[in-house]
Chains A and B, each alone.
Chain A
């Protein structure tokens, strides 16, 4: 079965410091990997995706993610965190095992950036 794991319920970081939100996946075949962000009482917003090509993917708001096939990971990173980055982050996977495009989400990680 296809699955995504985000091992940390919460990540705390000081403003200006680098941040990493972890994600690992388990799929058969090549995955399409995504990061979404959810601000309080809002819908999810697309941040970035990996389909193929360079393992380092750049996305919105200065975020980037690194695809690591050997470790089956797709960690989200940002060099310098902002208080406004505080939100709930979801890693998700989609793939060619079906053609529906459905997303399978991780459990979500709450990012708290403190001033």
Chain B
């Protein structure tokens, strides 16, 4: 059973489009996160939800909007995609101190 899953795994789109990435966890965790890994492999927190409530909103452009319909799901919607949005986006969930990561979504904006 996959603990943290993301769809799609790959996403290729053109500048200006709007796209969504979905994340689901079946671990029963209350807290979920979105991280961005850039081309140099650097990982940075973007957002976090705890039980459907936004608790972290780092300095991310407001073109990025997370949504948590329930505590098992955390989706990421991106408007007006730019070249610089190309990256791997990781979803994670946590229980106490440990975070469990999804396989990542590689977004390529052309």
* A residues neighboring B (CB under 8 Å): 32, 34, 36, 38, 41-46, 49, 51, 88, 90, 94, 100-105, 107-108
Q: Mark B35-59, 1 if CB is under 8 A from A, else 0.
A: 0000011111100101000011000
Contacts of A101 in B (CB 8 A): 31, 48, 94, 97, 99
Complex alpha-carbon distance, A100 and B31, angstroms: 9
Residue count of chain B within 8 Å CB distance of chain A: 24
8 Å CB contacts to A: which residues of B53-110? Answer: 55-56, 90, 92, 94, 97-104
Q: Flag if B102 contacts A43 (CB, 8 Å).
A: yes
Among B40, B55, B97, B103, contact of A94 (Cβ-Cβ < 8 Å): B97
Query: Which of A32, A44, A101 neighbours the largest number of chain B CB atoms within 10 Å of its CB?
Result: A101
Q: Is the CB of B101 within 8 A of A102?
A: no
Q: Which residues of A contact B102 (CB under 8 A)?
A: 43
Q: Which of B31, B40, B97 has the most CB of A within 10 A?
A: B97
The 4 A-B pairs of least Cβ separation, nearest first, read: A43-B101, A44-B101, A105-B43, A102-B45
CA distance A105 to B42 in the complex (A): 8
With A90-B43, A102-B48, A105-B44 in contact, do A43 and B97 touch (Cβ < 8 Å)?
no
A88 touches B104 (CB 8 A): no
Q: Are B103 and A46 in contact (CB under 8 A)?
A: no
Chain A residues with Cβ under 8 A from B94's Cβ?
101
Whole-angstrom CA separation of A94 from B104 in the bound complex? 21
Can you add 15 more A-B contacts, CB < 8 Å, to A43-B101, A108-B42? A38-B41, A43-B90, A44-B92, A51-B97, A88-B41, A100-B31, A100-B48, A100-B50, A100-B56, A101-B31, A102-B33, A102-B48, A102-B56, A103-B43, A105-B43
B4 within 8 A of A: yes
Which residue of chain A is the closest to B45 with respect to CB atoms? A102
Cα A111 to Cα B98 in complex, Å, equals 23
Q: A32 CA to B48 CA in the complex, in Å?
A: 18
